[in-house]
Amino acid sequence: MQQPLAYLVQSAERYCEQNRQRLTPNRRDVLAILVDSHMPMSAYDILDAMRSKQPSVKPPTIYRALKFLQDAKLVHSIESTNQFLVCSHLEHPHQPQLLVCQVCGRVEEIPLSEHMQAHLNESAKEHGFHLIHHAIELHGICQNCQ
């Protein structure tokens, strides 16, 4: 379910090559922290984790790294909980659909079906709306917590 760090790093490096950017220590550390946690984390959760090794880190450092990781499609943001999550479907381009458990706080990412994607595009088109990206977040109770 969870991508290994090495694979994510590889993907990050590819992104960097294509965009004149660099996978710096800050960015790598934030990614590693998110991978290690196996849970969605808030920016301040990440900040706390960073501080255990580098006490002077401040919020903008985290938000900048998260921005990079989101642009590189390695991390998704969860709008309804203000958290961040490592992408679990790097293998193909996708828009995420998130299943957010209200009990344990875990979030499962599932790829949005092509059918759904088509429907969303269709409904946007009907309203003359130029669609750029979307957030689809389902809240409920996961299998484990039932």
| Binding-site residue set | 101, 104, 134, 142, 145
Query: What character string, x for contact with its own copies (CB under 8 A) and - otherwise, covers 51-80?
Result: ----------------------------xx
**Residue 16 interacts with which of DNA, its own copies, none, CB < 5 to 8 Å by class:** DNA
At 24 the three-state DSSP class reads: coil
Residue range at the interface with DNA (CB under 7 A); choices 14-22, 95-103, 114-122, 136-144: 14-22
Tokens of 64: 């900048």
Q: How far is CA 101 from the centre of its chain?
A: 16
For 51-70, letters b (16+ CB in 10 Å) and e give eeeeeebeeebbeebbebbe
Minimum distance, C-beta of residue 46 to DNA, in the bound complex (Å): 10
Evaluate whether 70 touches 83 at the Cβ level (below 8 Å).
no
19 binds its own copies (CB under 8 A): no
**Residue 22 interacts with which of DNA, its own copies, none, CB < 5 to 8 Å by class:** DNA
